[in-house]
Copies of this chain bind each other. A is one copy, B any other.
Amino acid sequence: MRDRTAAAVVIGNEILSGKVTETNAAFLAKELRALGVALRRIVVIPDEVDAIAAAIRELHPAHDVLFTSGGVGPTHDDVTIAGVAQGLGRRVIRHPALEQMIRELSGERLNDARLKMAEVPDGAELVLDGNLRFPTIRVENIYILPGIPELFREKFLAMKDHFAADPYYLRVIYTRALESAIAGYLNATLAAFPELLLGSYPTIGDPEYQVRLTLESKDEQYVTRAFEHLLAQLGPEIVVRTE
């Protein structure tokens, strides 16, 4: 079974201060799940070199792939490159190919701020997929993505095939019952299927159902058997519908 884990580091004072509602992490969570990748951690931290370096040091050895979002523009608060470099114990260098691209794109408008965008952690590679005009910076297992949602999505989607693992199989049961009334059935199903990923999500005020149960595994037969097992226990009075 091909498993793969991931973590996301979202960098930006604007998110922590409530000025901008973050959407890249939720996008990434959905996309990675569809690719069979287990996203294990999301952290949101300020635009500070030390905070970024600490997050990188903690998360990069513990996951197969790490994504950063934000902090890669030309201004004073764009310190992701410096933070990633510090976290990996690498220097910041100006990447020759990036510098050439920026010089060509900038023409007479070239300035220090634009040249800052040619900086990478030493040893970084440029990933250029699909029809992207500007490459993504990768260093070790870390992909450095921009915070602007349109660019984040465009860059991720262009290279997502690199990350594919074996898929998850998902079944869903919608029930009309309180969570506390069916908790015993969930425990019994987990006792019989200890490897099952079983989620129980109550809702408030939904006219159709009270609890949504999600059953998942990378083994399709396993999740099918667990689904039948739980369904039989719940009984038709409680089950609204299944997916």
A174 to B214, CA, bound (A): 45
Given known pairs A18-B32, A43-B41, A44-B25, the reply for A75 and B183 (CB within 8 Å) is yes
A148 to B201, CA, bound (A): 9
Q: How far is the CB of A21 from chain B (nearest CB, A)?
A: 5
B16 near A40 (CB under 8 angstroms)?
A: yes
Interface segment, one of A107-115, A120-128, A131-139: A107-115
A77 near B200 (CB under 8 angstroms)?
A: yes
A198 to B114, CA, bound (A): 19
Is A204 in the interface zone, CB < 8 Å from B? yes
Is A159 in the interface zone, CB < 8 Å from B? no
Is A30 in the interface zone, CB < 8 Å from B? yes
| Cβ–Cβ < 8 Å partners of A197 in chain B | 13
Interface segment, one of A79-87, A89-97, A184-192, A230-238: A184-192
Of B20, B22, B31, B180, which contacts A114 at CB under 8 A?
Answer: B180
A111 to B45, CA, bound (A): 41
B187 near A76 (CB under 8 angstroms)?
A: yes
- Among A16, A20, A33, A199, chain B packs the most CB atoms within 10 A around the CB of A16
Mark A200-243 against chain B: 1 for CB-CB distance below 8 A, else 0. Answer: 11111100000000101000000000000000000000000000
* CB within 8 Å of B: which A52-68 residues: none
Is A144 in the interface zone, CB < 8 Å from B? no
A9 to B178, CA, bound (A): 26
A18 near B22 (CB under 8 angstroms)?
A: no
Is A99 in the interface zone, CB < 8 Å from B? no
Of B25, B111, B178, which contacts A184 at CB under 8 A?
Answer: B111
Is A162 in the interface zone, CB < 8 Å from B? no
Question: Which 3 A-B residue pairings sit nearest by Cβ, starting from the closest?
Answer: A18-B30, A113-B183, A18-B29
Q: Given A19-B214, A112-B183, A113-B179, 20 more contacts at CB 8 Å?
A: A13-B197, A13-B199, A15-B26, A17-B38, A17-B168, A18-B31, A21-B26, A25-B44, A40-B46, A42-B42, A74-B183, A75-B179, A75-B186, A75-B200, A76-B190, A77-B199, A109-B180, A113-B180, A150-B204, A151-B204
